[in-house]
Amino acid sequence: MTTTTPLISDIIKSLRAVGSTNTKRYIIEQNSNNEALRLLFYATYDGAVNFWIKADKDTKTNGTGVITAELIQDILAVLNCRVFTGNAAREYLAGLLQRLTQPEADVIICMINRDLDCKTSTSIANGVWKNLIREFPVMLAEKFNEKNAKIFYAAEHAKKKMIVQAKKDGGRAEAAVQSDGSVRVCSRNGNELAVFDHFSYLYPFAGHMVDGELVAYNPDGTPMDRKTSNGIYTKMVRGTATESEVASMRFIIWDMVPLADFYSGVYSCA
C-alpha cells in the first residue's frame, strides 16, 4: 500500500477550515515529515527572511506544478538573498507562479506576503518543529491599570528612581550591532529593514542589541509628521525606501542589551 503526500494547498485549506488550536496542531503534526510544509512556515513567519517584494493576491495561473521543498528553497535563495531585486525579482516570481496550479500559487503568494491566512501561531509551528521560527523577544508596553501602577507608586519612595523617556510614536527598531561593527536593523517582528548602512554610527555598541524607535526629521531638524515618518518606516520594512528617505531617520535609543541575552530572552542587569 502506498501513501500519497498531501498537496501543500490542501493542508493549508484544512487548517483554515478549523478553529481549534489543538486541531490545527494535530493537522500540522500529522504532516510534520513534509519538508515543504516545514519550509513554508519558516519562510512565511521567520523574521530573518525578507522577500523584498509583495505578491499580487489576484494573480491567475493555469500551470500544473505543485509546491516542493526544492521550490521554496529556490525562492529563498533568489529573493531572500537578493539575487534578483526590483522588477527582476517580480518577473522571477511571476514566472514561477505561472508554473503552479492556482491553489498552490495562492499559497506561495501568501508566503511572499508573510501570512498563510490559516490562524496558526509561531508557538504551534515551534511546538511541532522545535526552534523552527526565531522568536524576537522585544519588550512591549502594557495598559496602565491599578495592578501595574503599584510599581510606579513604590518608585516614588524607593532609593532607585525610575527613568522616564518620551515615546515619539515612531517605528519600533532593534539594531543588532555585530562585533565587526556591522549593523542589522529589524522591526519589532524581526523583519530586516533596508537601511543602506545608514546606522553604521552605532558601531561603538558592538555586541549589543540597541532598542528604540525610528523617527524621520526634516533637513532643518524638525520632526516630520507622524504619517509621513511612519510611511517611510513602512517602506523600509518593504525594502522600497530610497536612500535619502532612510537618511532622514533618526534612531531614538531606549535601551541596549547584550546580543546573547537578547536572543535568549533573559537579561539580568546588575
pLDDT, one tens digit per residue, over 98-133 is 999 999 999 999 999 988 999 887 889 999 999 898
Residue 270: predicted pLDDT: 55
The pLDDT of residue 131 is 86
Q: Encode the chain in three state secondary structure.
A: CCCCCCCHHHHHHHHHCCCCHHHHHHHHHHCCCCHHHHHHHHHHHCCCCCCCCCCCCCCCCCCCECCCHHHHHHHHHHHHCCCCCHHHHHHHHHHHHHCECHHHHHHHHHHHCCCCCCCCCHHHHHHHCCCCCCCCCCCCCCCCCHHHHHHHHHHCCCCCCCCCCCCCCCEEEEEEECCCCCEEEECCCCCECCCCCCCHHHHHHCCEEEEEEEEEECCCCCECCHHHHHHHHHHHHHCCCCHHHHHCEEEEEEEEEEHHHHHHCCCCCC
pLDDT attached to residue 140 = 72
Cell numbers describing residue 36: 515543504
The Cα–Cα gap between 252 and 93 comes to: 37
Question: Predicted confidence band at 1 (pLDDT cuts at 50, 70, 90)?
Answer: very low
| pLDDT score recorded for residue 269 | 64
43, three cell numbers:
519562510
Residue 173 has pLDDT above 60, yes or no: yes
Percentage of the chain lying above the pLDDT 70 cut:
96
pLDDT, tens digit, 9 for 90 and up, residues 199-214: 999 999 999 999 999 9
Looking at mean pLDDT, say which of 82-96, 112-126, 176-190, 230-244 comes out highest. Answer: 82-96
Is the pLDDT assigned to residue 23 strictly greater than 50? yes
For 181-184, the CB contacts below 8 A with 24+ separation are 181/206
pLDDT at residue 74 in the model: 97
Taking all residues of the chain, what is their mean pLDDT, rounded to a whole number? Answer: 89
Say what the pTM is: 0.64
